[in-house]
């Protein structure tokens, strides 16, 4: 069971690889993934205890210098966040669909966690920059009021930084729309 995740987003692949190595050497953390994404960014996701994740993130950020785009430490991360990032979410019931879109990849991770903690929704996907020009988005489902509340909470965590592109809630999506999301 993951206690805390750290996420570091960089705009240099070379510095990203170096930062990933530094993160793993700085404290007792487990690498979930370290990979390049569009357009030439590098994402590092890792887990461990709060203090270890914080120390590792600080070490990675220090080595990456001005190549850091965004970063986050999320204590007590909701388990659905990792499933949605890994595209392993199991959604049984189709309800309203909410979509949150961001300029920062890190913003989607933070927003997904805030959304799923704010209301009873199911995360369908957290897309982190691959094939979409470095942007990110979160897709979730549930009843209309829960989806509205979740989207509101998710967008609020990134709105002050100007990283939100758009968000929508579709109360009664056509079956084909939901199927296209899966």
Co-location of 150 and 62 in the same domain = no
Q: How many domains does the chain have?
A: 2
Is the pLDDT reported for residue 1 higher than 70? no
DSSP 65: G
Whether the pLDDT of residue 134 is over 90: the answer is no
Tens-place pLDDT, residues 135-180: 899 999 999 999 999 999 999 988 777 789 999 999 988 888 877 8
Does 53 share its domain with 93? no
Structural domain span for residue 51 = 4-75
**All residues at 6 or more sequence positions from 153 whose CB lies less than 8 Å from its CB, including other chains:** 114, 115, 117, 118, 119
Residues 48 and 12 both lie in one domain:
yes
Same domain, 104 and 116: yes
């Amino acid at each position: 069971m993951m206690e805390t995740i750290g996420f570091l987003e960089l705009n240099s692949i070379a510095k990203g690889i170096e930062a990933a190595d530094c993160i793993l050497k700085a404290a007792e953390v487990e690498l979930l993934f370290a990979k390049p994404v569009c357009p030439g960014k590098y994402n590092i996701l890792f887990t461990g205890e709060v203090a270890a994740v914080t120390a590792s993130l600080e070490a990675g950020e220090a080595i990456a210098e001005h190549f850091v785009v965004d970063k986050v430490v999320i204590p007590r991360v909701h388990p659905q966040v990792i499933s949605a990032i890994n595209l392993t979410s199991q959604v049984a019931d189709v309800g309203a669909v909410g979509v949150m879109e961001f300029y920062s990849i890190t913003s989607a991770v933070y927003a997904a966690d805030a959304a799923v903690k704010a209301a009873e929704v199911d995360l369908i996907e957290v897309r982190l920059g691959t094939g979409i020009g470095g942007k990110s988005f979160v897709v979730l489902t549930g009843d209309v009021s829960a989806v509205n509340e979740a989207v509101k909470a998710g967008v609020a965590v990134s709105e002050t930084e100007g990283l939100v592109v758009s968000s929508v809630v579709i109360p009664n999506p056509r079956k084909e729309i939901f199927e296209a999301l899966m």
